[in-house]
Chain A
Amino acid sequence: MNNLNDRLNEIKKIFNIGIYKSAEALSKLINKPVMINIPEIYLKSLEETFDLLGQVDEKAVSIYMRVKEGLKIGVLLLMNEDSAKKVVKYGAKVDFPEGSDYFIGVLEEICNILISYFLNTLANSLKVKILPDVPDFAIDMKGAIFDFVLAEHKNESLKVLLVITDLISDDNFKISFLIIPEDDTIEKLLIKR
């Protein structure tokens, strides 16, 4: 049971519960059913990780939260502009102009709640204390957002463990959920559990 694939599956299960809780929270916030794609887990070289993103120069709206203490991981939510508009519209029940302070504030708050649900579940199931940073916001090319996140992680081994799934609701609304553990966390998750 000690081979790499078993370990990766175990990690995926742990993250799965958190993602499920996040989807539940989103469903309550927007008052719509939310489905989750089966999460995929990848342990890949940094170059290959970019291939998973699809078009790296596509415009995306993102919220990123990094956990620096406890379990070191980054959580990145990516969506296209249309989905971001829908999150704000359904969540706030008001049509704020896109890119306005209110728009960004509501989007950040909703994404913050989703990530917090995920991290709380993770902290409980792994019995670790998790202290996240303040979430950060960007609207830019997907690749530019992602290379910043990876560079901030200072991934010395140039290997990336990545869990990707999508939260999907009706009306073509999709939020991609990316979980990126840092190097020493990968070791912890792979070896100690």
Chain B
Amino acid sequence: MNERNTHYVKIGNAVWAKSPDVLYCKGLGSCVAVCLYDASKKKGCILHILLPYGDDESKPYFYANLGIAKALRECQKFGMSIDKVWAKIIGGACVFSRVDESNGIGIRNVNEVKKWLKLYKIPIIAEDVGGKSGRNLIFNLETGEIEVFTLQKGIIKI
């Protein structure tokens, strides 16, 4: 039996792995974790995005506009079939009480991520986005299931 490794995905980074490994992010606030998965190969990745747009191509995964295109190219190199890849997106919260949630940086991140995924025809099969709570997540590459933890609601599975 293969040993199961866990990989932490830091802000502005993207990490690829395959079953039985696990990918995880901690303390996501307005950031968005884009989880991409090819169920036929049991391979996936998380990119941990901070901002909707940017132009620093040396650090593409900080930005939705650069990160998604780059991540999809890397998915192909990692042996994932792009026509089979789906996405689950998590994050984009607005943790401070007075900030207008409908116009905060979190929701703008989410909208930009959705725009780019749609452009590349990657279906979003589940999401847990927005709201007022920060999130931790664990992405199980054996099943494609993601456990999302918030201080308010505990664990949900998507």
Contact A144 to B11, CB < 8 A, known contacts A136-B96, A151-B105, A158-B62: no
Q: How many residues of A contact B (CB 8 A)?
A: 27
Q: Report the minimum CB–CB distance from A139 to chain B (whole Å).
A: 8
Report chain A residues within 8 Å CB of B26: 56-57, 141, 143
Contact A140 to B95, CB < 8 A, known contacts A57-B136, A158-B56: yes
Q: How far is the CA of A150 from the CA of B28 in the complex (A)?
A: 12
Closest chain A residue to B97 by CB distance?
A137
Report chain B residues within 8 Å CB of A57: 26-27, 134, 136
Q: Interface of chain B, helix or strand or loop or mixed?
A: loop
Report chain B residues within 8 Å CB of A47: 10-13
A170 within 8 A of B: no
CB distance A141 to B10 under 8 Å?
no
Q: Report the minimum CB–CB distance from B133 to chain A (whole Å).
A: 6
Q: How far is the CA of A151 from the CA of B108 in the complex (A)?
A: 11
B51 within 8 A of A: yes
Contact A137 to B96, CB < 8 A, known contacts A46-B62, A47-B12, A151-B51: yes
B residues at A contact (CB < 8 Å): 10-13, 26-31, 50-51, 54, 56, 59, 62, 93-99, 105-106, 109, 133-136, 151
In the complex, 21 of the A-B residue pairs with CB atoms within 8 angstroms, ordered by the A residue number, are A46-B12, A46-B50, A57-B26, A57-B134, A57-B136, A136-B99, A137-B97, A140-B133, A144-B29, A144-B30, A144-B93, A147-B11, A148-B30, A148-B93, A148-B105, A151-B29, A151-B51, A151-B109, A152-B30, A154-B51, A158-B12
A residues at B contact (CB < 8 Å): 46-47, 50, 56-57, 59, 64, 134, 136-148, 150-152, 154, 156, 158
